[in-house]
Amino acid sequence: MGCGPRRRTWVGLTSVALIASVLTAVAVTPGQADEFGQGNTAPVVSALTAGFAMQPAANGTSDTYQINAEITDANTLLDLDTVTLCLYHTTQGTSTCSSTAARNTMKIVWTQATNAFALTSGASTYWADQTSVSNYVATNTAMVMNFKFKVSEAALQGAWTATVTALDTSAGEDSATNADYSVAYYGAVDTNRVSQDYGTLAKDASATAQNISHGTLQANGASDIYYAVADLTDGTTTMTNAGGLVTAAPAVTEFALDCLGGSATYDNTGAVRIGAGATEVHSNILTGGVVEGGNNTNVASCRLTSGGQVPAGPYAGAVTVTVGPES
């Protein structure tokens, strides 16, 4: 009976020693963490809006047009830097929108840092950003960019190309291009020709006015210029437009106005008789369009002939100038 407890104590001590020995044998140094670097991918531009026609209007009053593009990035949009719309005249502009001429270039740049758009089309009054929308959320992997704009009245007639480019400064860029846009003809007289004074004329006498500007013309392509002249009156008596050929003298109580477009001096050769309706006086000018603000360098020279037999005094009538596409 007395030996039993001693054996149990001995066995217990031995077990503790064995356990301690085992714990010492499996001790290890701390493990090292696995790691990798997440690569960044370039954005992708797709789903560019299909081509359409644009119509300039006076003083930037064109309709609002919109070009959309989808921007995707497999790593989220967080690293996206800029998205640019470059809209350029296909033959007169450049695909980089490096030009600053409103005639052939319009460029809108969205910057992620400010989530804002900037129109950088050069000295343009009438190209106008119309509250474009970015739909940007940094944690998303895709967004639709809506570029909205009005068309400058100087935008050249003809084919235009749009390129939308998304730039990630560390991973590169991608772009999508559509060459099916177009701008329709636009022409207008911003400031009419200056009224001319032919002096006092005797019956059947003529006088000339030389090197008269057509006025300030706005046109985005090859144009013809037309004059029309109403009857002349002193407020009581009316002198009517004789019409007919340049070689035909006006009858009594009639007048004739003959003009030669593109000449600083009058010459019957090539001159036309200006009618009461629009008469072409200058053809195929402004072929490359004009800048915003128009052009006043194109001229005509005119001869006024009086058929007489009306009361003496000053007679006046409006000479109307219009511009249209080259016919």
The string of pLDDT tens digits covering residues 239-278 is 999 999 999 999 999 999 999 999 999 999 999 999 999 9
Please report the pLDDT score of residue 88 as a whole number: 97
Provide CB contacts within 8 A for 25, sequence distance 6+. none
Edge-first strand order for the sheet with 319-325 is: 279-285, 223-229, 319-325
Residue 43 has pLDDT above 60, yes or no: yes
**Which residues sit opposite 54 in a β-bridge?**
183
Cα-flanking dihedrals φ and ψ of residue 13, to 5°? Answer: -65, -40
Band of pLDDT at residue 14, cut at 50, 70 and 90: very low
Residue 18 has pLDDT above 70, yes or no: no
Cα-flanking dihedrals φ and ψ of residue 115, to 5°? Answer: 50, 45
Q: Specify whether the CB–CB gap between 299 and 195 falls below 8 A.
A: no
Six token digits for residue 296: 């006043």
Provide CB contacts within 8 A for 228, sequence distance 6+. 274, 275, 276, 277, 278, 279, 319, 320, 322
pLDDT above 70 coverage of the chain, percent = 89
Band of pLDDT at residue 10, cut at 50, 70 and 90: very low
**Which residues sit opposite 108 in a β-bridge?**
85, 119
Residue 184 has pLDDT above 90, yes or no: yes
Please report the pLDDT score of residue 235 as a whole number: 96
Q: Specify whether the CB–CB gap between 150 and 56 falls below 8 A.
A: no
Provide CB contacts within 8 A for 110, sequence distance 6+. 82, 83, 84, 116, 117, 132, 134, 145
Residue 309 has pLDDT above 60, yes or no: yes
Residue 55 has pLDDT above 60, yes or no: yes
Mean pLDDT on 188-203: 96
Return the exposure string of 175-203: e unless at least 16 CB atoms fall within 10 Å of the residue's CB, then b. Answer: bbebeebbbebbbbbbeebeeeebeebee
Which of 19-28, 37-46, 88-97, 281-290 shows the lowest mean pLDDT across its residues? Answer: 19-28
Residue 209 has pLDDT above 50, yes or no: yes
Q: Which of 221, 215, 211, 220 is nearest to 262 (CA)?
A: 211
Q: Which of 127, 148, 299 is nearest to 220 (CA)?
A: 127
Q: How far apart are CA 199 and CA 24, in angstroms?
A: 125
The predicted model scores a pTM of 0.84
Band of pLDDT at residue 40, cut at 50, 70 and 90: confident
Mean pLDDT on 291-300: 96
What average pLDDT does the structure give for the chain? 90
Please report the pLDDT score of residue 21 as a whole number: 45
Mean pLDDT on 21-49: 74
Residue 219 has pLDDT above 60, yes or no: yes
Q: Which residue pairs from 261-265 have beta carbons closer than 8 angstroms and sit at least 24 positions apart in sequence?
A: 261/225, 261/298, 261/299, 261/300, 262/298, 262/299, 262/300, 263/299, 263/300, 263/301, 264/210, 264/211, 264/299, 264/301, 265/210, 265/211, 265/301
Cα-flanking dihedrals φ and ψ of residue 223, to 5°? Answer: -135, 155
Which of 31-35, 36-40, 103-107, 222-226 shows the lowest mean pLDDT across its residues? Answer: 36-40
Q: Which of 53, 127, 166 is nearest to 292 (CA)?
A: 127
Six token digits for residue 8: 């149990």
* pLDDT tens profile 95-141: 999 988 999 999 999 999 999 999 986 668 899 889 999 999 999 99
Residue 31 has pLDDT above 50, yes or no: yes
Question: How far are the Cα atoms of 69, 90, 104, 111, 128 from residue 119, in angstroms, in the given order?
Answer: 17, 20, 14, 12, 7
Please report the pLDDT score of residue 5 as a whole number: 45
Mean pLDDT on 159-186: 96
Band of pLDDT at residue 37, cut at 50, 70 and 90: low
